[in-house]
Amino acid sequence: MEEKKKEGLPEKILKTMEERGDYVSGQELCDRFGVSRTAVWKAVKALKEKGYRFDAAQNRGYLLVDQPDTVEENDIKKRLHTKWAGCKVHFFPETGSTNTDAKRYAEAGDPHGTLVITDNQTGGRGRRGHEWSSPKGVNIAMTLILKPKFPPEKASQLTLVMGLAVAEGIREVTGLQTGIKWPNDTVIGTKKATGILTEMSAEPDFIQYVVIGIGINVNSEVTDFPEEIRDIVTSLKVETGETVSRSEIVAAVLTRFEQNYDTFVKTLDLSGLKEQYETLLVNKDRAVRVLDTAPYEGICRGIDEAGNLLVEKEDGETVRVNAGEVSVRGLYGYT
Protein backbone atom coordinates (compact mmCIF):
# COMPACT_ATOMS: atom_id res chain seq x y z
CA MET A 1 0.00 0.00 0.00
CA GLU A 2 2.80 2.44 0.91
CA GLU A 3 4.52 1.71 -2.41
CA LYS A 4 1.47 3.06 -4.24
CA LYS A 5 1.39 6.14 -2.00
CA LYS A 6 5.03 6.83 -2.86
CA GLU A 7 4.13 7.34 -6.54
CA GLY A 8 4.59 11.00 -7.38
CA LEU A 9 5.62 11.72 -3.77
CA PRO A 10 8.48 14.12 -4.64
CA GLU A 11 6.09 16.21 -6.77
CA LYS A 12 3.45 16.22 -4.01
CA ILE A 13 5.98 17.30 -1.38
CA LEU A 14 7.34 20.01 -3.68
CA LYS A 15 3.84 21.38 -4.31
CA THR A 16 3.14 21.45 -0.55
CA MET A 17 6.35 23.37 0.13
CA GLU A 18 5.70 25.86 -2.68
CA GLU A 19 2.19 26.55 -1.41
CA ARG A 20 3.32 26.90 2.21
CA GLY A 21 6.33 29.13 1.58
CA ASP A 22 7.62 28.18 5.01
CA TYR A 23 9.02 25.19 6.86
CA VAL A 24 7.00 21.98 6.63
CA SER A 25 7.69 19.29 9.21
CA GLY A 26 8.57 15.78 8.17
CA GLN A 27 5.79 14.45 10.39
CA GLU A 28 3.20 16.63 8.68
CA LEU A 29 4.32 15.29 5.29
CA CYS A 30 4.11 11.72 6.62
CA ASP A 31 0.58 12.28 7.91
CA ARG A 32 -0.61 14.12 4.83
CA PHE A 33 0.55 11.51 2.33
CA GLY A 34 0.34 8.39 4.51
CA VAL A 35 3.99 7.42 4.16
CA SER A 36 6.96 6.78 6.46
CA ARG A 37 9.69 9.23 7.48
CA THR A 38 12.09 7.24 5.30
CA ALA A 39 9.85 7.71 2.27
CA VAL A 40 9.76 11.48 2.89
CA TRP A 41 13.53 11.60 3.28
CA LYS A 42 14.03 9.68 0.02
CA ALA A 43 11.60 11.99 -1.81
CA VAL A 44 13.45 15.09 -0.60
CA LYS A 45 16.75 13.45 -1.59
CA ALA A 46 15.37 12.81 -5.10
CA LEU A 47 14.39 16.49 -5.38
CA LYS A 48 17.87 17.56 -4.25
CA GLU A 49 19.38 15.40 -7.00
CA LYS A 50 17.29 17.34 -9.51
CA GLY A 51 18.73 20.63 -8.26
CA TYR A 52 16.18 21.73 -5.63
CA ARG A 53 17.74 23.18 -2.48
CA PHE A 54 16.27 22.89 1.02
CA ASP A 55 17.06 24.14 4.48
CA ALA A 56 16.46 21.45 7.10
CA ALA A 57 15.98 22.69 10.67
CA GLN A 58 15.41 20.56 13.77
CA ASN A 59 11.83 20.77 15.08
CA ARG A 60 10.83 22.84 12.02
CA GLY A 61 11.27 20.54 9.04
CA TYR A 62 12.12 21.43 5.45
CA LEU A 63 12.12 24.82 3.71
CA LEU A 64 12.40 25.11 -0.09
CA VAL A 65 15.05 27.78 -0.74
CA ASP A 66 15.88 27.38 -4.44
CA GLN A 67 14.58 25.65 -7.54
CA PRO A 68 16.40 24.54 -10.69
CA ASP A 69 15.53 26.20 -13.99
CA THR A 70 13.75 23.27 -15.63
CA VAL A 71 11.14 22.91 -18.36
CA GLU A 72 9.71 19.53 -17.45
CA GLU A 73 5.95 18.95 -17.59
CA ASN A 74 5.27 19.72 -13.92
CA ASP A 75 7.28 22.96 -14.02
CA ILE A 76 5.24 24.25 -16.94
CA LYS A 77 1.80 22.99 -15.97
CA LYS A 78 1.87 24.47 -12.47
CA ARG A 79 2.28 27.91 -14.09
CA LEU A 80 -0.33 27.40 -16.83
CA HIS A 81 -3.93 28.57 -16.65
CA THR A 82 -4.87 27.99 -20.28
CA LYS A 83 -7.87 26.20 -21.78
CA TRP A 84 -6.02 24.19 -24.41
CA ALA A 85 -2.49 25.51 -25.05
CA GLY A 86 -0.14 23.08 -23.30
CA CYS A 87 -2.99 20.66 -22.54
CA LYS A 88 -0.50 17.84 -23.06
CA VAL A 89 3.28 18.13 -22.66
CA HIS A 90 6.05 15.91 -24.00
CA PHE A 91 9.43 16.70 -22.43
CA PHE A 92 12.75 15.37 -23.74
CA PRO A 93 16.06 15.83 -21.90
CA GLU A 94 17.60 15.88 -25.39
CA THR A 95 16.28 15.63 -28.94
CA GLY A 96 17.25 16.52 -32.47
CA SER A 97 14.26 18.73 -33.33
CA THR A 98 11.05 19.42 -31.43
CA ASN A 99 9.32 20.13 -34.77
CA THR A 100 10.19 16.63 -35.98
CA ASP A 101 8.96 15.11 -32.72
CA ALA A 102 5.78 17.20 -32.84
CA LYS A 103 4.94 16.00 -36.35
CA ARG A 104 5.20 12.42 -35.13
CA TYR A 105 2.88 13.09 -32.19
CA ALA A 106 0.43 15.01 -34.41
CA GLU A 107 0.25 12.12 -36.86
CA ALA A 108 -0.27 9.70 -33.94
CA GLY A 109 -3.37 11.66 -32.87
CA ASP A 110 -2.16 14.02 -30.15
CA PRO A 111 -4.64 16.87 -29.66
CA HIS A 112 -4.65 20.53 -30.60
CA GLY A 113 -2.50 22.40 -28.10
CA THR A 114 0.03 19.64 -27.39
CA LEU A 115 3.48 20.99 -26.49
CA VAL A 116 6.80 19.32 -27.24
CA ILE A 117 9.77 20.78 -25.36
CA THR A 118 13.38 19.83 -24.75
CA ASP A 119 16.25 20.78 -22.48
CA ASN A 120 18.77 20.27 -25.29
CA GLN A 121 17.97 20.57 -29.00
CA THR A 122 20.79 19.33 -31.20
CA GLY A 123 19.39 19.80 -34.71
CA GLY A 124 16.94 22.71 -34.73
CA ARG A 125 16.24 24.76 -37.84
CA GLY A 126 14.98 28.28 -38.45
CA ARG A 127 13.46 29.96 -41.51
CA ARG A 128 15.23 29.39 -44.82
CA GLY A 129 17.09 26.40 -43.39
CA HIS A 130 19.16 28.37 -40.88
CA GLU A 131 20.38 26.33 -37.93
CA TRP A 132 18.99 27.14 -34.48
CA SER A 133 21.15 25.82 -31.66
CA SER A 134 19.86 25.36 -28.12
CA PRO A 135 22.48 24.23 -25.57
CA LYS A 136 21.51 22.06 -22.62
CA GLY A 137 19.62 23.72 -19.77
CA VAL A 138 20.00 27.26 -21.08
CA ASN A 139 17.39 28.20 -23.67
CA ILE A 140 13.88 27.29 -24.82
CA ALA A 141 13.28 24.96 -27.74
CA MET A 142 9.63 23.98 -28.04
CA THR A 143 6.93 23.21 -30.59
CA LEU A 144 3.17 23.64 -30.32
CA ILE A 145 0.84 21.32 -32.25
CA LEU A 146 -2.28 22.89 -33.76
CA LYS A 147 -5.16 21.19 -35.57
CA PRO A 148 -7.12 24.10 -37.05
CA LYS A 149 -10.48 23.81 -38.75
CA PHE A 150 -9.82 26.62 -41.23
CA PRO A 151 -8.50 26.50 -44.86
CA PRO A 152 -4.77 25.84 -45.42
CA GLU A 153 -4.19 29.24 -47.05
CA LYS A 154 -4.82 30.92 -43.69
CA ALA A 155 -2.13 28.97 -41.82
CA SER A 156 0.81 31.23 -42.75
CA GLN A 157 -0.68 33.98 -40.58
CA LEU A 158 -0.18 31.81 -37.49
CA THR A 159 3.53 32.63 -37.66
CA LEU A 160 2.71 36.29 -36.96
CA VAL A 161 0.20 35.30 -34.26
CA MET A 162 2.95 33.34 -32.51
CA GLY A 163 5.53 36.07 -33.11
CA LEU A 164 3.25 38.51 -31.30
CA ALA A 165 2.69 36.07 -28.43
CA VAL A 166 6.42 35.47 -27.94
CA ALA A 167 7.23 39.20 -27.84
CA GLU A 168 4.34 39.84 -25.44
CA GLY A 169 5.17 36.87 -23.19
CA ILE A 170 8.82 37.86 -22.84
CA ARG A 171 7.87 41.48 -22.12
CA GLU A 172 5.38 40.34 -19.44
CA VAL A 173 7.89 38.18 -17.56
CA THR A 174 11.05 40.28 -17.91
CA GLY A 175 9.83 43.84 -18.40
CA LEU A 176 12.09 44.13 -21.46
CA GLN A 177 10.93 46.44 -24.25
CA THR A 178 10.58 43.72 -26.85
CA GLY A 179 9.74 44.46 -30.47
CA ILE A 180 8.92 42.42 -33.56
CA LYS A 181 11.00 42.39 -36.71
CA TRP A 182 8.52 41.31 -39.36
CA PRO A 183 7.29 38.69 -39.63
CA ASN A 184 8.04 36.99 -36.31
CA ASP A 185 11.46 37.63 -34.76
CA THR A 186 11.48 39.09 -31.25
CA VAL A 187 14.12 41.81 -31.04
CA ILE A 188 15.45 43.71 -28.05
CA GLY A 189 17.04 46.95 -29.11
CA THR A 190 18.52 45.97 -32.47
CA LYS A 191 19.26 42.33 -31.68
CA LYS A 192 17.37 39.11 -32.28
CA ALA A 193 16.43 36.89 -29.32
CA THR A 194 14.06 34.34 -30.88
CA GLY A 195 13.32 32.26 -33.95
CA ILE A 196 10.08 30.68 -35.17
CA LEU A 197 9.53 27.95 -37.75
CA THR A 198 5.99 27.00 -38.84
CA GLU A 199 5.35 23.80 -40.81
CA MET A 200 2.09 22.29 -42.03
CA SER A 201 0.70 19.01 -43.28
CA ALA A 202 -2.44 19.55 -45.36
CA GLU A 203 -4.69 18.41 -48.18
CA PRO A 204 -5.84 21.02 -50.73
CA ASP A 205 -8.83 21.99 -48.58
CA PHE A 206 -8.00 20.52 -45.17
CA ILE A 207 -5.25 21.05 -42.58
CA GLN A 208 -4.08 17.85 -40.92
CA TYR A 209 -1.87 19.74 -38.49
CA VAL A 210 0.38 22.75 -38.05
CA VAL A 211 3.49 22.71 -35.88
CA ILE A 212 5.04 25.98 -34.70
CA GLY A 213 8.58 25.70 -33.40
CA ILE A 214 9.86 28.43 -31.10
CA GLY A 215 13.47 28.99 -30.08
CA ILE A 216 14.22 31.61 -27.42
CA ASN A 217 17.68 32.63 -26.21
CA VAL A 218 16.97 32.79 -22.50
CA ASN A 219 20.09 32.31 -20.39
CA SER A 220 22.85 32.26 -23.01
CA GLU A 221 25.96 34.29 -22.33
CA VAL A 222 27.48 36.50 -25.05
CA THR A 223 30.33 34.01 -25.37
CA ASP A 224 27.84 31.24 -26.20
CA PHE A 225 27.11 32.87 -29.56
CA PRO A 226 29.40 32.38 -32.58
CA GLU A 227 31.57 35.46 -32.98
CA GLU A 228 30.22 36.24 -36.44
CA ILE A 229 26.65 36.80 -35.17
CA ARG A 230 27.26 38.44 -31.78
CA ASP A 231 26.38 41.86 -33.19
CA ILE A 232 22.86 40.74 -34.17
CA VAL A 233 21.80 38.23 -31.47
CA THR A 234 21.17 38.48 -27.75
CA SER A 235 19.53 36.65 -24.86
CA LEU A 236 17.13 37.60 -22.09
CA LYS A 237 19.90 37.12 -19.51
CA VAL A 238 22.29 39.38 -21.43
CA GLU A 239 19.60 42.09 -21.61
CA THR A 240 18.33 41.84 -18.01
CA GLY A 241 21.61 40.95 -16.30
CA GLU A 242 19.78 38.16 -14.46
CA THR A 243 18.93 34.49 -14.91
CA VAL A 244 15.38 34.20 -16.28
CA SER A 245 12.97 31.34 -15.50
CA ARG A 246 12.41 29.37 -18.68
CA SER A 247 9.19 27.76 -17.44
CA GLU A 248 7.72 31.21 -16.68
CA ILE A 249 8.52 32.33 -20.23
CA VAL A 250 6.97 29.17 -21.68
CA ALA A 251 3.77 29.63 -19.66
CA ALA A 252 3.49 33.33 -20.56
CA VAL A 253 4.00 32.65 -24.28
CA LEU A 254 1.40 29.86 -24.32
CA THR A 255 -1.08 32.05 -22.47
CA ARG A 256 -0.63 34.96 -24.87
CA PHE A 257 -0.77 32.65 -27.90
CA GLU A 258 -4.03 31.07 -26.79
CA GLN A 259 -5.60 34.51 -26.38
CA ASN A 260 -4.26 35.76 -29.72
CA TYR A 261 -5.22 32.55 -31.54
CA ASP A 262 -8.79 32.75 -30.25
CA THR A 263 -8.94 36.33 -31.57
CA PHE A 264 -7.52 35.24 -34.93
CA VAL A 265 -10.01 32.41 -35.53
CA LYS A 266 -12.97 34.77 -35.12
CA THR A 267 -12.14 36.47 -38.42
CA LEU A 268 -9.41 34.20 -39.88
CA ASP A 269 -7.23 37.23 -40.44
CA LEU A 270 -5.14 39.63 -38.38
CA SER A 271 -7.72 42.41 -38.19
CA GLY A 272 -8.26 41.81 -34.46
CA LEU A 273 -4.52 41.73 -33.74
CA LYS A 274 -3.21 44.30 -36.22
CA GLU A 275 -3.06 47.18 -33.74
CA GLN A 276 -1.31 45.02 -31.09
CA TYR A 277 1.17 43.76 -33.66
CA GLU A 278 1.99 47.15 -35.17
CA THR A 279 2.58 48.63 -31.72
CA LEU A 280 5.57 46.26 -31.42
CA LEU A 281 6.65 46.32 -35.10
CA VAL A 282 10.13 47.84 -35.08
CA ASN A 283 10.14 48.28 -38.88
CA LYS A 284 7.06 50.51 -38.90
CA ASP A 285 7.59 53.92 -40.57
CA ARG A 286 11.26 53.10 -41.07
CA ALA A 287 13.30 52.64 -44.21
CA VAL A 288 13.68 48.97 -45.21
CA ARG A 289 15.28 47.00 -48.01
CA VAL A 290 13.23 44.18 -49.54
CA LEU A 291 15.59 41.40 -50.61
CA ASP A 292 13.55 40.25 -53.59
CA THR A 293 14.89 38.97 -56.91
CA ALA A 294 15.34 42.65 -57.74
CA PRO A 295 15.91 44.25 -54.29
CA TYR A 296 14.28 47.60 -53.61
CA GLU A 297 13.91 50.08 -50.77
CA GLY A 298 10.96 51.86 -49.23
CA ILE A 299 9.21 52.84 -46.00
CA CYS A 300 7.44 50.17 -43.95
CA ARG A 301 3.81 51.19 -43.34
CA GLY A 302 2.76 48.26 -41.18
CA ILE A 303 0.92 45.07 -42.16
CA ASP A 304 -2.33 44.29 -43.89
CA GLU A 305 -5.00 41.94 -42.52
CA ALA A 306 -3.30 38.95 -44.15
CA GLY A 307 0.03 39.68 -42.45
CA ASN A 308 1.80 41.00 -45.54
CA LEU A 309 4.23 43.85 -44.95
CA LEU A 310 3.20 47.13 -46.57
CA VAL A 311 6.17 48.89 -48.13
CA GLU A 312 5.78 52.32 -49.72
CA LYS A 313 8.28 52.76 -52.55
CA GLU A 314 9.87 56.05 -53.60
CA ASP A 315 7.35 56.50 -56.43
CA GLY A 316 4.45 56.29 -53.97
CA GLU A 317 3.40 52.73 -54.88
CA THR A 318 2.59 50.50 -51.87
CA VAL A 319 3.75 46.92 -52.28
CA ARG A 320 2.48 43.95 -50.25
CA VAL A 321 5.43 41.78 -49.25
CA ASN A 322 4.77 38.11 -48.46
CA ALA A 323 6.85 36.62 -45.63
CA GLY A 324 7.22 33.30 -47.41
CA GLU A 325 8.78 34.86 -50.49
CA VAL A 326 11.36 37.45 -49.42
CA SER A 327 13.32 38.85 -46.49
CA VAL A 328 13.31 42.41 -45.23
CA ARG A 329 16.17 44.22 -43.53
CA GLY A 330 16.61 47.69 -42.14
CA LEU A 331 18.94 49.88 -44.16
CA TYR A 332 21.36 50.24 -41.26
CA GLY A 333 21.35 46.82 -39.60
CA TYR A 334 19.36 43.70 -38.80
CA THR A 335 16.18 45.62 -37.86
**DSSP string covering 109-151:** TPPTT-EEEES-EEEEE-GGG-EEEE-TTTSEEEEEEE--SS-
Look at residue 100 and tell me whether its pLDDT is greater than 50. Answer: yes
**DSSP string covering 244-312:** --HHHHHHHHHHHHHHHHHHHHHHTSSTTTHHHHHHHBTTTTSEEEEESSS-EEEEEEEE-TTSPEEEE
Across the chain, what does the average pLDDT equal?
Answer: 91
Q: Walk me through the domains of the chain, giving residue ranges and CATH numbers.
A: 2-66 (1.10.10.10), 73-280 (3.30.930.10), 287-330 (2.30.30.100)
Interval 165-176 mean pLDDT: 98
Distance CA 107, CA 199 (A): 13
Look at residue 143 and tell me whether its pLDDT is greater than 70. Answer: yes
Q: What is the band of 160 on the pLDDT scale with cuts at 50, 70, 90? A: very high
pLDDT at 69: 86
Give the predicted TM-score (pTM) of the model: 0.85
Distance CA 222, CA 111 (A): 38
Listed range (15-29, 96-110, 259-273) with the worst mean pLDDT:
15-29
Q: According to the per-residue pLDDT averaged within each range, which of 38-42, 64-68, 321-325 is highest?
A: 38-42
Look at residue 63 and tell me whether its pLDDT is greater than 90. Answer: yes
Interval 154-179 mean pLDDT: 97
Condensed to tens digits (0 to 9), the pLDDT of residues 15-33 reads 899 889 899 999 999 999 9
Q: What is the band of 331 on the pLDDT scale with cuts at 50, 70, 90? A: low
Look at residue 306 and tell me whether its pLDDT is greater than 90. Answer: yes
